[in-house]
Structure 1
Amino acid sequence: MKRTLAVSGAAALAAFGFAALLLRGLDHPQPAPGVVATTSAMPTLYCEFYNFVGRAPKVGFTFSTSRANEAPAFAQVNQIEADGTRTAFGADSEPSRNWTFEAGDPPNLVSPDDAIRILLYGYEGTTSAGTWFEAGLRSIQYLNLDGKCRCGGV
Structure 2
Amino acid sequence: MKYPRSRSLIAMIGAGVAALLAVVFLAYEPLSQPSPPARQEAREKPIPSLNCVFYDFTRASIVVGFDFAATLSEGAPPRFEERAKASRDGNQSIFEAGDRPVWAYAQDDDGHPTITSPDGATRVVLYGLKLDAVGAFFIEAGLRSTEYRNLNGQCQQANFGGALASMSKESSPAAQ
The TM-score, its normalising length taken from structure 2, stands at 0.58
1:4-153 to 2 correspondences below 5 Å: 41-68=46-73, 69-90=75-96, 95-104=99-108, 105-127=111-133, 129-153=135-159
Q: Return the alpha-carbon distance in structure 1 between the equivalents of residues 118 and 49 of structure 2.
A: 18
**Aligned residue in 2 for 1:18:** none
CA distance in 1: counterparts of 2:105 and 2:60, whole angstroms? 27
Gaps of 5+ in 1: 1-39
Secondary structure at the aligned position of 2:157 is classed as strand
> Size of the alignment, in residue pairs?
113
**TM-score if structure 1 supplies the norm length?**
0.66
Deviation at 1:41, TM superposition (A): 4.6
**Corresponding residue for residue 171 of structure 2:** none
1:108 is displaced (CA, Å) by 0.6
How far apart, CA to CA, are the structure 2 residues paired with 1:103 and 1:137? 14
Higher helix share: 2
Where structure 2 has 5 or more consecutive residues not aligned to the other structure, the ranges are: 1-44, 161-176
Off by >6 Å, runs of 4+ in structure 1: none
**Is the 1:44–1:63 Cα contact (8 Å) retained in structure 2?**
yes
CA distance in 2, matches of 1:91, 1:41: 18
- Aligned-residue RMSD, C-alpha: 2.1
Gap change, CA 1:82 and 1:56, over 3 Å in 2: same
Change (3 A) 1:123 1:91: closer
